[in-house]
Amino acid sequence: MAATQSVGVGTAGTPHAPVPPTTGHDGDSASRTPGTGPLRGLSPQAVGMVALALTVSVWAAFALSARALSASTLMPADAALLRFGVPLVVLAPALWRRRRRLLAVRPAPAIKIVCGAGVPFFLAAMYGGSLTSAAFVGAIVPGMVPLFVSGLMVAGGKSLPRGTQATGLVLIVAGVVALVWRYTAALDADVLLGTGTLLVASGLWALYTVGLREVDLDPVGSIGLLCLPSFVVIGLLALTGVLPTGLAHAAGADVVLFLVVQGLGVGLCAGLLYAFAIRRLGPERCSVVGSLSPVAVVLLAVPLLDEAPTLPVVIGVPLITLGVALANRRTQTKVSADA
């Protein structure tokens, strides 16, 4: 999910990821990772587009995995352990070097980040996806973030969105209405409950976006701030039996799939790649391209999940995509990166 300083801006996939400053005071910069090796012969803009394309693919994979979880041998707690645990293992040395800066984060923004993109967000997105479709996850969770962020910023004393931003927010609402209208008329309780849960997930991600703007961490530090307490919480819930777990008996293919998609993809690569793309291409171009992730989800869900696009999806997803693109058009001044 991309988020910016301007009012009402943000795209997620969820894991679309807001990206904190990439020039940290405490260690490695995200800009050192991509852009080398086989991509060395490409122009900086081309390498940035490759990083952005990979980021959008990861965001789409998050939405697809939210829907696929209900058909796998993994429980939500299992997927969450992989989502938050894998980045901690991979980044352990780098996070240790940042321990003082992490401990210095104020409690209020830390709570926003951990609640907004941690266990509550993850479980809401997974549960909502199990009741609806990948298209709903890919469109509603990132699509509604600009509206929620705008509401939070207005509540904090900022001015109301105007011009193209206001138009974008209206289109987002129209797109969500188009998605759920048919199920409201038919009183499909499961889809309506799933949609409501996805709206909660989107609101939580907006809270995460606001929290990221209040901390001075590079992308690696942001990942640690999110994943460490989230992993502890989900581990305690699993150990005490509050959330059932079947990781020990899950199919190996399911474990590998969610380890790659959730742990390495969403948990690690999305934030670092998006931060790198921001530095090469600029936040405005990245936000507009990132808004295409709902379309990617719909297209990929056809061959991967056998989800044929319905008329509400055909109408609603383009409206949401256009709305997110318009809501992100204002030139952005501060960039922050997903965890």
Q: CA-CA distance, 310 to 308, in Å (whole number)? A: 6
pLDDT at 7: 39
Report in angstroms the alpha-carbon separations of 311 from 47, 98, 199, 301: 36, 49, 21, 15
Give 81-128 as a DSSP string: HHHHHHHHHHTHHHHHHTHHHHHTS-HHHHHHHHHHHSHHHHHHHHHH
Residue 335 to residues 1, 19, 64, 80, 283: CA-CA distances in angstroms? 12, 6, 27, 27, 7
Phi, psi of 19 (to 5 degrees): -125, 115
Query: Does residue 6 contact residue 165 with C-beta atoms inside 8 Å?
Result: yes
Q: How many Cβ atoms sit within 10 Å of the Cβ of residue 198?
A: 29
Averaged pLDDT, 174-199: 88
pLDDT digits (tens, 9 = 90+) for 89-131: 999 999 999 999 999 999 999 999 999 999 999 999 999 999 9
Provide the 8-state DSSP code for 328.
Answer: T
- What separation, in Å, do the N-terminal and C-terminal C-alpha atoms of the chain show? 10
The arithmetic mean of pLDDT across residues 51-55, rounded, is 86
pLDDT digits (tens, 9 = 90+) for 120-159: 999 999 999 999 988 899 899 888 888 888 888 888 777 7
- Sequence-separated (6 or more) residues with CB below 8 Å from residue 278: 19, 22, 286, 335, 337
